[in-house]
């Protein structure tokens, strides 16, 4: 935490809430102008920063535990997509007012997830203003050994690490604001509120996958990013896109497919791999949903049970809409 | 930049504005889920994150070049206070709306300062929301060789790297909103709007100073941080606190001294050193302003021309006031 945190009882409390990490591998942790870290000489640092804004990434009044879990979980997902092991993180927290209970609940959610992935909080800044959370996560990989989104090859197969669309349904449930009485509703809500970064799978496919990214903007938008970065096109088989039973209990198939294609926030991995890796990937739980095409136009096309179908024009969610 | 940037012409423009860096020493720069960096094996990474919020750290309607320069300059100051060489940074930019001219001007200010310190932008996230900028800066130091605020010794002398109070006067000028007709007004405004991180001096005193931090919250508040971290007290000689001619042209001596003691935002270095380093530090341009005391109570006291005087109770600026 920088020095601005150390001036009042409020600041002291925030500092104590966010100074629980011991960060044993750090030369110097929280409490000075900066933290100091000496990465192992055979490893590279993987770094990514992500922002969550109230009213845009989560609804106003969202439970603080989940604001924290969602912010850290989605940030960790970028590390998963690189095939890296997360190591530590920093947080820039902007709060409209000081609220002990809110801060304690936020801190509880943050440390729950941090402990689950064995990562330390090593620095931060707390300021007053509209509720905004930026988290920078750092991971480690063996030197030169990381996944990118730009390295897919023509004829590679396309896989996802799990069901899509649940998080979008969970967001709609959160916005409805009704009590979640059914287990499937709770499951969908948590898909949105507490996404699981696919760290273990990311590390497992490092060396198997030809390219990777995480599905944060919706399958179509993220597959388009992968196509653009790799200079290729892709064809999906829509009947293969995995939809959860929970999602299909919430709404009908058409809704579920739209949520899977355009909903975003699922934080599953989207990877490509050559066909000789197919069996290994299926054993790891990946689901095959299409193939890359040599066409350089970065065009997405789709089939449904083998017949060509049109894809929706709108892809993903534009934060500036 | 993460994938959310890549969905519209607006996003494309922002991405292009912030992708000018080449980051030659990076394994992988902007454009994937994360950046990848392999630090030299004999060096440690120094990392700090800092947030600037409109209406709190700078007035609404502040010129975008200066918002960028102030945000990056103050973030770099934390690296200076560690005695480190800045290397690269990431930015999390939250914007209320897309505005081409604003973004271009912000980007111009950002790259001006980045080029001056030869650092690369290696990642970021752009979201829609109230204007907030978080910047994480990374520096490098030889392993184990960095400055902290917790390592001052009793009887160490206290030094600052330059005049204090100018930034506070500059903020007041900015808030007045009048045209700055006099050169001294322009100088004060730029002290606030475009602070100079004392990178070269931080590196120069690494090995000379016993402790260091940067004056972001005002001399008294930051000296108190240093005392708390080091478990010591301190006594200032107020007549030695350096006040600029520009500041004394703006207002009287009493105002200037209050601005120097409590104004903040100056981003000068505040260091302690044993008396045998005094001559070297004076040659570097440091100004001696007091001495550390063995008392563990972290008490600040002051003299004016050798006579004991009371210090104001209020110290620094509390962002939660």
Residue A191 scores a pLDDT above 90: yes
Res. A21 pLDDT band, cuts 50 70 90: low
Residues B113-120 have a mean pLDDT of 95
Q: Tally the domains of chain B.
A: 2
For residue A11, what pLDDT is reported?
Answer: 53
Question: Which chain B residue is nearest to residue A36, measuring alpha carbons?
Answer: B46
For residues A136 and A162, state if they share a domain: no
H-type alpha helices, chain A: 9-17, 64-81, 100-116, 166-176, 183-193, 199-205, 219-230, 245-250, 253-262, 278-283
Helix (H, G, I), strand (E, B) or coil at B255: helix
User: Which ipTM was obtained for this model?
Assistant: 0.92
Residue of B13, B33, B213 best to disrupt the A interface, most CBs of A under 10 A: B33
For residues A12 and A94, state if they share a domain: yes
Q: Does the beta-carbon distance from A217 to B84 stay under 8 Å? A: no
Q: Does the beta-carbon distance from B37 to A45 stay under 8 Å? A: yes
Residue A264: which domain range?
Answer: 157-309
Q: What is the pLDDT of residues B97-112, one digit of tens each?
A: 888 899 999 999 999 9
Q: Is residue A317 part of a domain?
A: no
Q: Which of A191-195, A296-300, B42-46, B178-182 has the lowest mean pLDDT?
A: A296-300
Q: Is residue B242 part of a domain?
A: yes
Q: What is the pLDDT of residues B194-203, one digit of tens each?
A: 999 999 999 9
B142, B165, B182 - which closes a domain: B142
CB B72 within 8 A of CB B118: no
Residue B27's φ and ψ, nearest 5 degrees, are -65, -40
Residue B289 scores a pLDDT above 70: yes
For residue B134, what pLDDT is reported?
Answer: 97
Residues A201-212 have a mean pLDDT of 97
For residues A167 and A220, state if they share a domain: yes
Q: What is the pLDDT of residues A62-75, one digit of tens each?
A: 999 999 999 999 99
Helix (H) or strand (E) holding A126: strand A120-128
| Exposure on the CB side of residue B76, measured as CA atoms within 13 A | 30
Q: Does the beta-carbon distance from A2 to B48 stay under 8 Å? A: yes
Q: Does the beta-carbon distance from A47 to B91 stay under 8 Å? A: no
**Closest chain A C-alpha to B215 CA, distance in angstroms:** 9
Nearest to A149 among B33, B92, B319 (CB): B33
For residues B192 and B136, state if they share a domain: no
Q: Is residue B57 part of a domain?
A: yes
For residue A312, what pLDDT is reported?
Answer: 78
Nearest to B7 among A46, A84, A318 (CB): A318
Q: Does the beta-carbon distance from A35 to B55 stay under 8 Å? A: no
Structure tokens at A253: 């198939």
For residue B13, what pLDDT is reported?
Answer: 62
The percentage of chain A sitting over the pLDDT mark of 70, rounded to a whole number, equals 91
**Closest chain B C-alpha to A184 CA, distance in angstroms:** 29
B142, B172, B204 - which closes a domain: B142
Q: Does the beta-carbon distance from B8 to A318 stay under 8 Å? A: yes
Q: With b meaning 16 or more CB within 10 Å and e meaning fewer, what string describes A244-277?
A: bebbbebeeeebbbbbbbbbbbbbbbbbbbeeeb
CATH number of residue B294's parent domain: 3.90.650.10
Residues 6+ apart with CB under 8 A from A211: A147, A148, A149, A150, A151, A152, A156, A226, A229, A230, A271, A272
Q: Is residue B149 part of a domain?
A: no
Residues 6+ apart with CB under 8 A from B174: B58, B59, B62, B189, B192, B193
For residue B312, what pLDDT is reported?
Answer: 78
Nearest to A34 among B28, B46, B319 (CB): B46
Q: Is residue B241 part of a domain?
A: yes
Q: Is residue B164 part of a domain?
A: yes
For residues A166 and A305, state if they share a domain: yes
Helix (H, G, I), strand (E, B) or coil at B177: coil
CATH number of residue A82's parent domain: 3.30.1330.10
**Closest chain B C-alpha to A265 CA, distance in angstroms:** 11
Q: What is the pLDDT of residues A47-67, one digit of tens each?
A: 999 999 999 999 999 999 999
**Closest chain A C-alpha to B101 CA, distance in angstroms:** 16
For residues B128 and B168, state if they share a domain: no
For residue A137, what pLDDT is reported?
Answer: 98
Helix (H, G, I), strand (E, B) or coil at B209: coil
Nearest to A78 among B2, B49, B94 (CB): B2
DSSP type of residue B127: E
Q: What is the pLDDT of residues A115-159, one digit of tens each?
A: 999 999 999 998 899 999 999 999 999 999 999 999 999 999 999
Residues A246-267 have a mean pLDDT of 96
For residues B114 and B60, state if they share a domain: yes
Q: What is the pLDDT of residues B44-70, one digit of tens each?
A: 999 999 999 999 999 999 999 999 999
For residues A7 and A69, state if they share a domain: yes
Residues B279-292 have a mean pLDDT of 98
Residues B238-258 have a mean pLDDT of 97
For residue B18, what pLDDT is reported?
Answer: 72
Residues 6+ apart with CB under 8 A from B284: B201, B204, B205
Chain A hits for B318, CB-CB cut-off 8 Å, are 7-8, 10-11
Residue B2 scores a pLDDT above 50: no
For residue A1, what pLDDT is reported?
Answer: 33
Residues B135-139 have a mean pLDDT of 97
Q: Which of A315-319, B43-47, B115-119, B275-279 has the lowest mean pLDDT?
A: A315-319
Helix (H) or strand (E) holding A178: none
For residue A2, what pLDDT is reported?
Answer: 34
For residues A48 and A99, state if they share a domain: yes
Q: Is residue B174 part of a domain?
A: yes
Q: What is the pLDDT of residues A66-119, one digit of tens each?
A: 999 999 999 999 999 999 999 999 999 999 988 889 999 999 999 999 999 999
Q: Is residue A240 part of a domain?
A: yes
A-B contacts at Cβ under 8 angstroms: 253
For residues B303 and B187, state if they share a domain: yes
For residue A5, what pLDDT is reported?
Answer: 32
CB B168 within 8 A of CB B267: no
Res. A321 pLDDT band, cuts 50 70 90: very low
Res. B320 pLDDT band, cuts 50 70 90: very low
Helix (H, G, I), strand (E, B) or coil at A103: helix
For residues B82 and B181, state if they share a domain: no
The closest alpha carbon to B137, from B77, B214, B206, belongs to B77
For residues B184 and B300, state if they share a domain: yes
Question: Which chain A residue is nearest to residue B81, measuring alpha carbons?
Answer: A33
Please, which residues bridge with residue B270 across strands?
B160, B213
Question: Which chain B residue is nearest to residue A45, measuring alpha carbons?
Answer: B37
For residue B6, what pLDDT is reported?
Answer: 35
For residue A8, what pLDDT is reported?
Answer: 47
Give the residue carrying structure tokens 């989560």: A58
Q: Does the beta-carbon distance from A3 to B216 stay under 8 Å? A: yes
B114, B142, B170 - which closes a domain: B142
Q: Does the beta-carbon distance from A92 to B217 stay under 8 Å? A: no
CA dist A5 and A28 (Å) reads: 18
Residue B126 scores a pLDDT above 80: yes
CA dist A100 and B256 (Å) reads: 37
Residues A195, A201, A206: CA angle, nearest 5 degrees:
135
Q: Does the beta-carbon distance from A134 to B7 stay under 8 Å? A: no
Residues B58-83 have a mean pLDDT of 97
């Amino acid at each position: 935490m920088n020095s601005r945190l150390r001036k009042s009882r409020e600041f002291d409390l925030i500092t104590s809430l966010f100074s629980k990490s011991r960060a044993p591998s750090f030369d110097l942790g929280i409490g000075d102008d900066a933290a100091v870290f000496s990465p192992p000489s055979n490893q590279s640092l993987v770094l990514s920063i992500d922002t969550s804004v109230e009213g845009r990434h989560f609804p106003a009044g969202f439970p603080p535990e989940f604001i924290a879990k969602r912010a850290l979980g989605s940030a960790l997902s970028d590390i998963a997509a690189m095939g890296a092991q997360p190591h530590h993180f920093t947080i820039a927290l902007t709060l409209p007012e000081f609220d002990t209970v809110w801060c304690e609940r936020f801190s509880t959610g943050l440390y729950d997830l941090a402990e689950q992935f064995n990562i330390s909080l090593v620095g931060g800044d707390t300021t007053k203003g509209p509720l905004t959370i930026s988290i920078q996560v750092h991971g480690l990989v063996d030197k030169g050994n990381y996944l990118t989104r730009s390295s897919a090859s023509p004829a590679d197969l396309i896989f996802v690490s799990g069901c899509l669309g649940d998080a979008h349904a969970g967001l709609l449930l959160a916005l409805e604001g009704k009590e979640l009485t059914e287990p499937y509703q709770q499951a969908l809500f948590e898909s949105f509120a507490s996404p699981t970064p696919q760290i273990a799978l990311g590390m497992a496919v490092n060396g198997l996958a030809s390219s990777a990214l995480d599905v944060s903007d919706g399958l179509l938008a993220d597959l388009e990013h992968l196509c653009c970065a790799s200079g290729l096109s892709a064809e999906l088989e829509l009947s293969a896109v995995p939809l959860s039973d929970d999602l299909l209990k919430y709404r009908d198939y058409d809704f579920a497919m739209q949520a899977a294609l355009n909903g975003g926030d699922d934080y599953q991995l989207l990877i490509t791999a050559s066909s000789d890796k197919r069996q290994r990937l299926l054993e790891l739980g990946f689901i095959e949903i299409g193939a890359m095409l040599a066409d350089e136009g970065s065009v997405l096309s789709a089939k449904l049970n083998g017949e060509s179908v049109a894809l929706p024009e709108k892809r993903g969610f534009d934060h500036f809409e």
